[in-house]
């Protein structure tokens, strides 16, 4: 153990030479952190092994769940608030404050029965008992905030398919939809839909962002903006673990705000924070081998957790392009067969990410199927290109991929591989804002894009191929149009049997792959690095940070 520690110290000295500016920044922030952890206030009684520490380099804008748009805000508010339902690690909807629910036969009415043992965090405004139980009227108020123009919540869209909602009594809450929408329960798991107390929000107004009162496993303690945020254990939390013990296990959560990933990684390597999320270019080669394994220097002190992330990276063809090459199914399939996705992931992502040999639906979502996509078949790619040349008389077929600088290496890899097969490929690099505007308005023949799930249901991915969703008014950037696909897509809204709907999703995805309007590159992965003493963190395809079952030893 001593030799391993000495090796790590020497390794950190090498790191410090490379990242000296960031190290100086880290040391200054560390002093601030040390100050906070040694303050002689109520936090002084917290033992180190009961505090979970992480860094949020993107900062946090609000602790009001109505504004939980970015991952940083979502992670923080997830510790403080609960909704009617929640998602487990397998993306199944589970009870939360609602202990049960019924869906009407026409799939338009959702009736929730609430638990009677859920109380808000203590606050003097609640009066004598300093708290009160949650009731259905609280959910009516909370959802009304989302559609209130004065609040201007970015989560308003979540209720686009809702006709109305109301508290039928203290323990019964009902939502009526305008049209069937099987993914609706998944939408309700979003932080936008969590419950807040009207009297507290009314008291603080806009300052509720920094004075949050919820029902979650942790309660707000202190926020020094840009420096540190502290949550403490909610001793009145209602959920139990499988053994019957009340959650959470931790006594506190401490969040710092180091502004860059290099500094964050150095703090993690020194043991000052408990985990880092994601694989940043600034340290990916430092911590991982080319095959995606932990380097030997970290194996004794660090665990790596990885799993599917609901993000598909892809190239898209504009199906209304006037170019013969883009209109040709032969060439679109030739591109899909013409490069090795596994090799691409190994050399450009240190093995992090899943080669997209399935369809457009990413691994981790019901409806995904790894047998409906494209393998690496260079001989077939060459044959398809040769067939295109013979049928069209175009001796030198040519396509141009428009991308941003962040994905230039991927496009250049594909460029080299396809040119070996007889297809001339150009790569045009533009600013992200230019690419966004051009793809939305049909100005690009072929472009790189990605789709991260707005909500955990495959319908969200398939909406990109519905003919009534043509960009710029919808997400169908390719202008793909298939009557059979549209028929199946509309049928999925009325299919209440979960397994049958999943099969329908797979059929739709397979149909898209047959027409090849896109080239799936890879399905992203969630990657988390934790200290060895952290247990129970887990991982999920929406990269939600859930700390109620975490403990440290």
Phi first, then psi, for residue 192 (nearest 5°) are: -55, -35
191-195-199 Cα angle (round to 5): 135
Please state, for a pLDDT cut of 70, what percent of the chain lies above it.
92
Structurally, the chain folds into a number of domains equal to: 3
Is the model more confident about 95 or about 32? 95
Q: Is residue 153 part of a domain?
A: yes
Residues 169-175, mean pLDDT to the nearest whole number: 98
Alpha helix stretches (DSSP H) within 463-522: 483-492, 498-515
Using alpha carbons, list the distances in angstroms from residue 420 to 344, 345, 411, 414, 520.
16, 19, 14, 10, 20
Global pTM? 0.79
Q: Is residue 421 part of a domain?
A: yes
Residues 211-230, mean pLDDT to the nearest whole number: 96
In CATH, what number is assigned to the domain containing residue 93?
Answer: 3.90.76.10
Is the model more confident about 474 or about 147? 147
Task: Say if residue 548 is in the same domain as residue 507.
Answer: no
Q: Is residue 487 part of a domain?
A: yes
- pLDDT category at 3 given cuts 50, 70, 90 is very low
The pLDDT value given to residue 11:
52
Residue 110 in this model has a pLDDT that exceeds 50: yes
Residue 215 in this model has a pLDDT that exceeds 70: yes
Task: Say if residue 19 is in the same domain as residue 91.
Answer: no
- pLDDT category at 36 given cuts 50, 70, 90 is very low
Residues 24-39, mean pLDDT to the nearest whole number: 44
Residues 422-441, mean pLDDT to the nearest whole number: 94
Task: Say if residue 394 is in the same domain as residue 535.
Answer: no
Task: Say if residue 263 is in the same domain as residue 162.
Answer: no
- pLDDT category at 16 given cuts 50, 70, 90 is very low
The pLDDT value given to residue 209:
97
Residues 405-427, mean pLDDT to the nearest whole number: 96
Residues 409-419, mean pLDDT to the nearest whole number: 97
Q: Is residue 208 part of a domain?
A: no
Q: Is residue 489 part of a domain?
A: yes
Residue 365 in this model has a pLDDT that exceeds 60: yes
Q: Is residue 148 part of a domain?
A: yes
Q: Which of 146, 173, 200 is the last residue of a domain?
A: 200
Task: Say if residue 496 is in the same domain as residue 460.
Answer: yes
In CATH, what number is assigned to the domain containing residue 375?
Answer: 3.10.105.10
Task: Say if residue 187 is in the same domain as residue 271.
Answer: no
Q: Is residue 65 part of a domain?
A: no
Q: Which of 131, 166, 200 is the last residue of a domain?
A: 200
Residue 18 in this model has a pLDDT that exceeds 70: no
- pLDDT category at 285 given cuts 50, 70, 90 is confident
Task: Say if residue 317 is in the same domain as residue 298.
Answer: no
Q: How far is CA 329 from the centre of its chain?
A: 33
Residue 73 in this model has a pLDDT that exceeds 80: yes
Residues 139-167, mean pLDDT to the nearest whole number: 95
Q: Is residue 144 part of a domain?
A: yes
The pLDDT value given to residue 25:
47
Judged on CB neighbours under 10 Å (0-12, 13-18, 19+), 429 is middle
Q: What is the largest CA-CA distance in the chain?
A: 85
List pLDDT tens digits, range 38-72. 443 444 445 777 999 999 988 899 999 999 988 89
Task: Say if residue 406 is in the same domain as residue 520.
Answer: yes
Is the model more confident about 289 or about 165? 165
Residues 299-326, mean pLDDT to the nearest whole number: 94
Task: Say if residue 522 is in the same domain as residue 533.
Answer: no
- pLDDT category at 473 given cuts 50, 70, 90 is confident
Residue 144 in this model has a pLDDT that exceeds 50: yes
Task: Say if residue 254 is in the same domain as residue 352.
Answer: no
* Terminal CA-CA length for the chain: 18
The pLDDT value given to residue 290:
83
Rounded to an integer, what distance in angstroms lies between the CA atom of residue 461 and that of residue 457? Answer: 8
Taking all residues of the chain, what is their mean pLDDT, rounded to a whole number?
90
Find the domain containing 461 and state its range.
308-526
Rounded to an integer, what distance in angstroms lies between the CA atom of residue 386 and that of residue 436? Answer: 33
The pLDDT value given to residue 504:
96
Residue 423 in this model has a pLDDT that exceeds 70: yes
Task: Say if residue 330 is in the same domain as residue 465.
Answer: yes
In CATH, what number is assigned to the domain containing residue 543?
Answer: 3.40.190.10
SS3 call for 469:
helix
Residue 450 in this model has a pLDDT that exceeds 50: yes
- pLDDT category at 261 given cuts 50, 70, 90 is confident
Residues in the chain: 553
Please state, for a pLDDT cut of 90, what percent of the chain lies above it.
75
List pLDDT tens digits, range 500-516. 999 999 999 999 999 99
Residue 461 in this model has a pLDDT that exceeds 90: yes
Going by C-beta distance under 8 Å and a sequence separation of 6 or more, which residues neighbour residue 300?
Answer: 1, 4, 532
Task: Say if residue 446 is in the same domain as residue 414.
Answer: yes
């Amino acid at each position: 153990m001593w030799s391993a520690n000495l090796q790590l110290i020497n390794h950190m000295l090498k790191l410090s030479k490379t990242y000296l500016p960031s190290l100086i920044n880290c040391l200054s922030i560390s002093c601030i952190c040390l100050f906070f952890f040694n303050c002689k206030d109520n936090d002084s009684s917290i033992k180190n092994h009961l505090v979970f520490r992480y860094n949020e380099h993107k900062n946090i804008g609000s602790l009001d769940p109505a504004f939980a748009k970015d991952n940083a805000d979502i992670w923080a508010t997830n510790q403080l608030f609960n909704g009617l339902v929640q998602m487990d690690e397998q993306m199944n909807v589970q009870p939360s404050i609602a202990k049960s629910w019924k869906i009407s036969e026409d799939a338009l009415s959702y009736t929730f029965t609430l638990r009677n043992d859920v109380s808000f965090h203590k606050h003097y405004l609640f009066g004598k008992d300093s708290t009160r139980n949650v009731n259905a009227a609280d959910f009516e108020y909370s959802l009304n905030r989302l559609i209130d123009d004065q609040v201007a919540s970015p989560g308003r869209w979540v209720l686009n398919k809702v006709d109305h909602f109301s508290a039928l009594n203290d323990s019964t809450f009902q939502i009526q939809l305008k049209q069937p929408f099987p993914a609706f329960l998944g939408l309700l798991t979003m932080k936008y839909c969590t419950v807040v107390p009207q009297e507290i929000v009314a008291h603080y107004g806009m300052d509720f962002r920094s004075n949050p009162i919820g029902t979650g496993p942790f309660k707000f303690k202190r926020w020094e903006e840009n420096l540190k945020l502290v949550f403490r254990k909610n001793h009145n939390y209602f959920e139990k673990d499988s053994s019957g013990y009340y959650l959470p296990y931790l006594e506190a959560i401490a969040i710092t705000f180091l502004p860059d990933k290099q500094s964050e990684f150095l703090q993690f390597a020194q043991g000052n924070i408990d985990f880092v999320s994601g694989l940043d270019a600034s340290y990916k080669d430092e911590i991982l081998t080319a095959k995606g394994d932990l380097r030997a220097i970290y194996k004794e002190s660090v665990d790596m957790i990885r799993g599917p992330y609901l993000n598909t990276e892809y190239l898209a063809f504009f199906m209304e392009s006037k170019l013969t090459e883009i209109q040709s199914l032969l060439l679109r399939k030739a591109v899909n067969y013409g490069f090795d996705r596994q090799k691409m992931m190994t050399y450009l992502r240190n093995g992090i990410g899943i080669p997209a040999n399935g369809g457009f639906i990413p691994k981790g979502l019901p409806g995904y199927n790894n047998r409906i996509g494209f393998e690496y078949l260079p001989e077939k790619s060459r044959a398809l290109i040769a067939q295109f040349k013979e049928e069209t008389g175009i001796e030198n077929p040519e396509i141009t991929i428009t991308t941003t600088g962040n994905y230039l290496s991927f496009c250049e890899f594909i460029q080299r591989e396809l040119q070996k097969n007889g297809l001339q490929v150009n790569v045009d690099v533009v600013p992200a804002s230019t690419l966004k505007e051009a793809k939305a308005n049909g100005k690009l023949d072929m472009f790189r894009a990605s789709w991260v799930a707005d909500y955990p249901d495959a319908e969200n991915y398939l909406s990109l191929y519905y003919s009534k969703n043509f960009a710029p008014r919808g997400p169908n950037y390719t202008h793909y149009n298939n009557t059979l696909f549209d028929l199946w897509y509309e049928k999925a809204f009325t299919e209440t049997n979960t397994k049958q709907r999943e099969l329908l999703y797979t059929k739709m995805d397979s149909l898209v792959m047959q027409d090849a309007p896109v080239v799936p590159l890879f399905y992203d992965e969630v990657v988390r690095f934790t200290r060895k003493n952290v247990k129970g963190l887990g991982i999920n395809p929406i990269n939600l940070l859930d700390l109620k079952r975490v403990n440290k030893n």
